[in-house]
A and B are shown apart, each in its own frame.
Chain A
Amino acid sequence: MASSTSQTGLPDLYSRIEELSVSDDGQRRSPYPPIPALYTSRPIIQDSLSTESSEVQDGVIRDCLPFLEGNPNKQPLNSRGIQALQRDNHVEFLKDALEDYPAGFVAVDASRPWIYYWSLSGLAMLGENLDKYRQRLISNLLAAQNSTGGFGGGHGQYSHVAGSYAGVLSLAILGGKECYDMIDRKAMWEFLGNMKQRDGGFTVAPGAEEDIRGAYCAMTIVSLLNLPLELPKGSPARVNGDETFFTGLPEWISRCQSFEGGIGASPGNEAHGAYAFCALACLSLIGAPYEMIPKYLDIHSLTAWLSSQQHAPEGGFAGRTNKLVDGCYSHWVGGCWSMLECAIWGPDTHPRNGKELWSKNGLARWILCCCQGKNGGLRDKPKKHPDAYHTCYNLAGLCAAQFQYVYRPSELNPFANAPLSAAFSWTIQDSNSNGVLETCPATDEQWCWDEKDLLKPVHPVFVIPLGQADKIRGYFEAKGAF
């Protein structure tokens, strides 16, 4: 394919037009492959009944089509003729996100560990060296850590399971003894034990709501920090004394699956993409995905529901039925597939056999064309402003598209016989191209990204750079009990 750079070095829609060449049959041709009609036309079936939902959906397609068909922000294009990954701009955006906020951002005060996590995780995917943030992160989190265990949003705030998750993941991303040792593991164990409820689930803070985020975040921490599975004395879930963090948990997750096939925040709630990821990841922490997921969830309806969240022409995922695409679901829904495919096809599945269940190209096209902000950072959708949250989860979704994750329990797992070690068997397909496939195995169409658009892969369950999870767990395996 012809080079994507024009003479100015900045190819855009206009240079694409200038580069149109006259071919043998007298037709003017673009140097780029044609855009499949799937991404440039409205769905072939549309109801005549108009409601608020269909009106906003129409509006989104109207806003997205210019980005799918052209290059309104005049960004550099890749060899496929779509926006290249604006790596440097995104790096600058996330570095900025770690610095000062004006007073109007006071709401962030309760969730600062999330800001660290989204930014550091995004920077890691973009290939940045993060060493310079280590001391700064430790200082911040020391102030947010409570003596009763866990991290709050900052000094003087109650510990929160989600904040603790974001804090622990941030420390795991940076890695090293100093990061690991600053976590009061015993107190963390007691805090999480106190969040465990008799019905099997977890609350997110003392006296706060119980939902599936609590379960996923708590079990992630227990697994990474190699915490004991038995519950501390005083845990509300400790009735007979032999209960563990597992007790009733998969059954509780099972109750969160709705009649649609997707997963709700808690039993009875509407199916929602973010909670689907929490459910699948939590089950994949407890045991092998091909054992746990079919045992506790109805795979048939789950697959149908996840699949139906991918929209055309946008290419991205929505989070609920009849809702709009949003870049954050690139991860929340996009990240489900590696676990679900493992659940369906079993371990050690070779990716080159056309067993993908979703459109990786559709998602990557959506992220690259529609979700990159003009001046860096990624966003919900065109017309929205980029932020660290959407940047992190769009990039994680791009990882899900670009890499083929394989579950290899037999050869890989360094902690194979230890409890809560199921998630340490993931790798990316070690083919000649570092897990990157040259073409889509199912359809043989070429991927819509170039090598220079490739990210550093994140772990499909822990969502931190592949390898960093093994390091922190290995450190605490060696350390053993408190």
Chain B
Amino acid sequence: MSRYAGNIVWEGLAPIPQKHEGATPLATIAYKEEYVEAMSYLRAVMAVNECSERALSLTEDIIRMNPAHYTVWLYRCKIIFTLNKSLCNEIEWVNNISLKYLKNYQIWHHRQTIIDKLGSAEGETAFIDQMLEKDAKNYHVWSYRQWLVKRFDLWNQMELDFVKKLLEQDLRNNSAWNHRFFVVFGKPNTSAPTDKAILGREKTFAEEAIRKAPQNQSPWNYLRGIYRQSKESIVELSPFVREFCGINENDLVQSSHALDVFAEIHGDIPETQLMAAKALDLLAMRYDPIRVNYWNYRKRQIEDQTTVAA
């Protein structure tokens, strides 16, 4: 039954069995025999730093049995580079197993290393789109996509269209919102943070999303992120915020995030600080009481300002 011992391909290599871990080792795994054998041969090839066809097929065998094995992925990469193997073939192989191991950390890093060396992102975004269809918030996939944008200078309309499409599917997909911010403002030495046209476009994009679902936190974070980055005053948000909240008894409050921004706007101006305090009280007592301590802290910050001013 053995795949390696007695196999002519593996002649001349003495497998290295797993070191004894004492009489009563911790957290032992009842490995399958085929895994035990393959690992013994992996130790042996790694010990002499063997980069060969047989070592390459060994890594495939182990990945098939345990894709979470970071060592074998890293070793595989080394073999591929040493043997000058076709990088396109490697990506094709990875494509075939990616869906099966979508949540796996190692596979995405492996892909990144290969694509980096290949120097071409052709087909990559289409492949990622397919992955995100299965799991639209997968952190590894998104991190890989951000690396791809940076590495291949993809700060373009296609990326924005892609984000837009995902947000049409789920307006609350925060990963997509993060990617949009990255694409618009993340390019090194970009002028976007001070470009009035771009800032205006992005504010409108977020505001339209908020109007569709005022309690969705993602576009609110996006909007505040824009203001923080451009260092513009959020006072200009005042009329927009009033669409979703007010502090009087009969006012309809459609969004706790709107009340939060309302408090921030009014907390900076001495004449309106009482209004800010009222908004924070509403959050603490009625609309968002799990954060009572945080809202009280915000209120105290305003009071401290007043004390200092006085």
Contacts and interface: CB of A to CB of B under 8 A. Distances in A.
Interface of A: 38, 44-49, 51-54, 97-103, 105-112, 115-116, 119, 133, 135-140, 142-143, 152-158, 160, 205-209, 258-261, 264-266, 268-272, 298, 301, 303-305, 307-308, 310-312, 315, 320-323, 354-359, 362, 442-443
A269 B138 CA distance: 12
Given A49-B171, A157-B71, A322-B216, A307 B291 contact: yes
B30 interface: yes
Interface string B66-80: 111111001101100
Contacts of A47: 213-216
A270 B172 contact: no
A51 B170 contact: yes
B262 interface: no
Contacts of B217: 308, 321-322
Given A38-B290, A99-B27, A153-B69, 8 more contacts: A106-B65, A109-B66, A116-B26, A143-B18, A265-B143, A269-B178, A270-B139, A355-B297
Nearest to B254: A45
A265 B105 CA distance: 13
B139 A272 contact: yes
Contacts of B240: none
Contacts, number: 234
B194 to A, nearest CB: 15
B293 to A, nearest CB: 5
Given A111-B68, A308-B217, A270 B142 contact: yes
6 smallest CB-CB distances across A and B, nearest first, come from A139-B22, A259-B225, A53-B172, A156-B43, A312-B290, A270-B178
A99 B74 CA distance: 29
Interface in B1-48: 16, 18-32, 35, 39, 42-43, 46
A47 B185 CA distance: 29
Nearest to B289: A38
A119 B27 CA distance: 10
B174 interface: yes
Given A106-B66, A110-B66, A270-B142, A358 B293 contact: yes
B139 to A, nearest CB: 7
Contacts of A261: 221
Nearest to B75: A158
Contacts of B221: 259-261, 305, 321
5 contacts: A143-B18, A153-B71, A207-B113, A322-B217, A362-B290
Interface string B118-147: 000000000000000000110100110010
A138 B24 CA distance: 11
Interface in B266-296: 286-294, 296
B61 to A, nearest CB: 13
A136 B22 contact: yes
A156 B46 contact: yes
B28 A100 contact: yes
Given A47-B215, A54-B172, A357-B294, A271 B71 contact: no
A22 B289 CA distance: 31
Given A143-B21, A158-B70, A308-B217, A268 B172 contact: no
Contact of A260 (B66, B146, B178, B214): B178
A207 B174 contact: no
B71 A140 contact: no
Name the prevailing secondary structure of the A interface residues: loop
Contacts of A304: 260, 294
Contact of B19 (A98, A143, A269): A143
B215 A45 contact: yes
Nearest to A44: B287
A103 B215 CA distance: 46
A357 B293 contact: yes
B173 interface: yes
B222 A207 contact: no
Interface in B47-96: 65-71, 74-75, 77-78
Contacts of B137: 320, 323
B292 A443 contact: yes
Given A136-B24, A155-B43, A321-B221, A268 B186 contact: yes
A264 B178 CA distance: 10
Given A136-B22, A322-B217, A307 B74 contact: no
A109 B69 contact: yes
Contacts of B113: 207
A103 B175 CA distance: 35
B293 A356 contact: yes
B215 A359 contact: no
A54 B292 CA distance: 24
B204 interface: no
Contact of A269 (B43, B142, B216): B142
B90 to A, nearest CB: 15
B181 interface: yes
B182 A268 contact: yes
A155 B18 contact: yes
Interface in B204-219: 212-218
A218 to B, nearest CB: 16
Interface centre among B16, B177, B178, B293, by most A CB within 10 Å? Answer: B293
Given A101-B27, A154-B18, A308-B217, A106 B292 contact: no
A442 B109 CA distance: 46
A435 B68 CA distance: 41
A207 B178 contact: no
Contact of A140 (B21, B69, B296): B21
B146 A205 contact: no
A99 to B, nearest CB: 7
A359 B292 contact: yes
A109 B29 contact: yes
A103 B43 contact: no
A45 B253 contact: yes
A112 to B, nearest CB: 5
A321 B32 contact: no
Contacts of B224: 301
A266 B143 contact: yes
B261 to A, nearest CB: 11
